[in-house]
Structure 1
Amino acid sequence: MPSQAVLRWFASFAPHPIAVSWRERLRASLGALLGIAAMGASVHWLLGPEAVVPYLIAPMGASAVLLFGVPASPLAQPWSFIGGNLVAATLGVISAMWIGNPIVASAVALAAAIGVMFALRCIHPPSGAVALTAVLGGPAIHALGLRFVIEPVALQSAVLLGSAIVYHAVTGHRYPHVSRAAAQTPPGIAGVTRADLEAIVRERGELLAVAADDLESVVHEAQLLAYARSFSELTCEAIMSRDAVSVSSDTTAAAAWRLLERHRIKALPVVDAARRVVGIVTRTDFVGRTAFGLRGPRNKRRSLWRSADETHRVDDLMTPNVRTVDPHLPVAKLIPVFAHYGHHHIPVVDHSRRLIGMITQSDLIGGLHRQTQTQARELKTA
């Protein structure tokens, strides 16, 4: 019936559930508050109380939603934000100068801004409001001319971006967003490839607000989760490496590096006298750490680093808040720990947080593969 069709049409407007924790929502809201406050205060301090330039322009509020609320979106990345705003401001000012009718000038500015942003790969939706502000902002904005591009747009954009970078770093969030590497597809699974995803996106012919790398990673992680779900009885204890090499917090940085080299591993759990895990140190922690008594080799055949002194300790460069897992945790629940937090090495601890093993991505894939082979043999003999 027509009435039912209309109801279904209205029902389609219902928003999809947002899978974001309340903690993350609060973090985003607080970030926007601090970012806008820092931007207004900085511009006021730099330009002085007598400045004719507005301390805040409305489009920055929309940009703050992206930078703090959805920082993983390609639309919120630094180049999209800065490039989109500068492009839109420039084209808006030029349109206002050359076209007398504000409605026509607004339409031309917005259309041109979208086209150029696509060409320069800096799509940022709030930049459309920047273009309209340049045209419809009134005499004060028009009097600025091309100065509007620098003050306030470039200045406010730089301050807001700097605030976002600092805030995300302080709160332990990735920004600018670095796409996660796609999870390895276990043997025996026909994985979706990057080429498959790109072909589908091209066929759709529209912009998706997710990076191709992230999309590939999500698909592969979903495959891996579905694969692991069939092994509900497989636990972390069954796949972990039991002979985990560890160090104490007072071990020298040079000695820790020699252990990494000698055992050809990428991470060392840091334990106290009772072998309770208190941190972790990885090869990445040594990158650029010349101050820790480590310097580069003279030729490629030698070790990546060699010790120059024994004064700096592991606790100077370790990560103290290390993620650990229980040995009885099902492998299916371990996948998200690797996938969503960027971990590559996870210590396995008992109820007293004492180290009993280590799990790497290779351990995970190897364990799933061995389980597959076991199930295949059982099916043959059944």
Structure 2
Amino acid sequence: MIQPPDASKPEASRSWGSRFFSPILAGATLRDRMIACFGALLGIALTGAISGYLFGHGPHLPLIVAPIGASAVLLFAVPASPLAQPWSIIGGNTISALIGLIVAHFISDPILAIGVGVSLAIAAMSFTRCLHPPGGAAALTAVLGGPAVAGWGFLFPFVPVALNSCLLVALGLLFHKLARRSYPHVAVKPVENLHQTNDLPSSVRVGFREEDVDAALEAFDETFDIDRADLSRLLQQVELQAAVRSHAGISCADIMSRDVIAIDEDADPDDARRLLLKHNIRALPVKDRHGRLIGTVGLREISQSTGTIAGSISPPATAAVSDAALSLLPVLTDGRTHAVIIVDADDQILGLISQTDLLSAVARLLPNEPA
């Protein structure tokens, strides 16, 4: 008989713990958070140390302004956020601090000044495309004043606010590069039609379109902390993963061609052209002297080659025999790749999957309905 879970058992504790420590942000992992903690440690400490070394600190100048701590959370914990990009941090903090000083100069009532300061800071950051939440704190700091603000006057937005922001961003760029994380985040460009016609690329003709994303965002009537291009890319990946999961039983080994026509890297272009035309194929795998795959060539590559084909080799698209066949859809529909080479751990060629092979497999998955 199945017994209900006992809350005193380790399994229940682990379940509770996993729920308690589950990430708030989609995609976040414990490793990401640990990297963020270490990055913030280095970033904030070094920003304060360098600022203190350059200008000293004391009543006339703080070691570091408080909003920089909030900037560090975004910079190291969510580096892909549009709110955490270099211009957002530097421009958002600096412009907001300047707005706060201007408001404090013209409005003597502190209650009214803090409200107007933050609201105008949001407006200014929005119009200058540098919206940054800590900018609101920078505006408040400037409005409420203090020895540092009074001592530096209208230089305060630049020293220490802009100085701290620039140092933090520079350290963030270095840290993310060393950690092999992408920063600043660059949203992937929309897929282009490589054939230079007015048609949509084949990979986006079926499924949702950009206007569907706009309609969905309008229906939610909310603002999300993600670039619109990243949102489209995420939804496309969700579609792909759902298709792969639904047909996970079909692997590359099931549909690949096993009698692969290949050529050596020191072969003559005429030999490569002859093989391509004889076997009616568009991509020819190229092997080194040890039989390992090093690339592919097609008619376009060899049309301008002289000597051997070694100088005309294109990087290969590869997969393993155990990979899901439908996971090759993005590669084989990108408008450039005609075949994926199936290799083992030593890059020895085991098979090949062409666009035709994958199309035939997808066709078999379609429901058979009577005419």
Q: TM-score, normalised by structure 1?
A: 0.66
1:168 Cα offset (Å):
1.3
SS at match of 2:115: helix
CA, structure 1 residues 247+306, in 2 after alignment: closer, same or farther (shift >3 Å)?
closer
Corresponding residue of 1:328: 322
Corresponding residue of 1:30: 38
CA distance in 2, matches of 1:358, 1:66: 44
1:58 Cα offset (Å):
1.2
CA, structure 1 residues 366+154, in 2 after alignment: closer, same or farther (shift >3 Å)?
farther
1:272 Cα offset (Å):
8.0
| Of 222, 226, 248, the match for 2:242 | 226
Given the alignment of the two structures, is residue 193 of structure 1 paired with residue 201 of structure 2, yes or no? no
| Of 144, 149, 156, the match for 1:141 | 149
Corresponding residue of 2:368: 379
CA distance in 1, matches of 2:116, 2:65: 21
Corresponding residue of 2:121: 113
Corresponding residue of 1:298: none
Choose 1 or 2 for highest CA Rg: 2
CA distance in 1, matches of 2:101, 2:164: 17
SS at match of 1:379: coil
In the alignment of these two chains, the number of paired residues is 311
Given the alignment of the two structures, is residue 57 of structure 1 paired with residue 73 of structure 2, yes or no? no
1:17 Cα offset (Å):
7.0
Contact 1:35 1:163 in 2 (8 A): yes
CA distance in 2, matches of 1:160, 1:139: 23
1:96 Cα offset (Å):
1.9
Task: In structure 2, give the amino acid aligned to 1:172.
Answer: R
Given the alignment of the two structures, is residue 236 of structure 1 paired with residue 252 of structure 2, yes or no? yes
SS at match of 1:329: coil
- How big is the alpha-carbon RMSD for the aligned residues of Structure 1 and Structure 2? 4.5
CA distance in 2, matches of 1:125, 1:194: 28
Corresponding residue of 2:171: 163
Q: Calculate percent identity across the aligned residue pairs.
A: 36
Note the 1:80-119 alignment, pairs <5 A: 80-119=88-127
CA distance in 2, matches of 1:331, 1:81: 43
| Of 198, 209, 213, the match for 2:225 | 209
CA distance in 1, matches of 2:248, 2:365: 13
Cα deviation digits, residues 41-90 of structure 1 (max 9, x gap) = 22122224679321211111111111111111111112222221122111
CA distance in 1, matches of 2:329, 2:45: 39
CA distance in 2, matches of 1:352, 1:72: 35
Contact 2:262 2:286 in 1 (8 A): no
CA, structure 1 residues 205+20, in 2 after alignment: closer, same or farther (shift >3 Å)?
closer
CA, structure 1 residues 280+206, in 2 after alignment: closer, same or farther (shift >3 Å)?
farther
SS at match of 1:146: helix
Contact 1:347 1:357 in 2 (8 A): yes
1:194 Cα offset (Å):
1.1
Cα deviation digits, residues 219-242 of structure 1 (max 9, x gap) = 111112222333323223435895
Contact 1:225 1:335 in 2 (8 A): no
1:155 Cα offset (Å):
0.8
Task: In structure 2, give the amino acid aligned to 1:375.
Answer: L
SS at match of 1:55: coil
Corresponding residue of 1:291: none
CA distance in 2, matches of 1:63, 1:219: 29
Given the alignment of the two structures, is residue 173 of structure 1 paired with residue 181 of structure 2, yes or no? yes
Contact 1:35 1:64 in 2 (8 A): yes
CA, structure 1 residues 140+189, in 2 after alignment: closer, same or farther (shift >3 Å)?
closer
Q: Which moved more, 1:233-242 or 1:150-159?
A: 233-242
Cα deviation digits, residues 84-133 of structure 1 (max 9, x gap) = 11221111111222222222211110011111222222211111111111
CA distance in 2, matches of 1:196, 1:55: 49
CA distance in 2, matches of 1:245, 1:133: 68
Corresponding residue of 2:51: 43
Task: In structure 2, give the amino acid aligned to 1:58.
Answer: A
Task: In structure 2, give the amino acid aligned to 1:156.
Answer: N
1:352 Cα offset (Å):
4.3
Note the 1:187-336 alignment, pairs <5 A: 190-237=206-253, 238=255, 274=290, 325-331=319-325
CA distance in 2, matches of 1:154, 1:345: 51
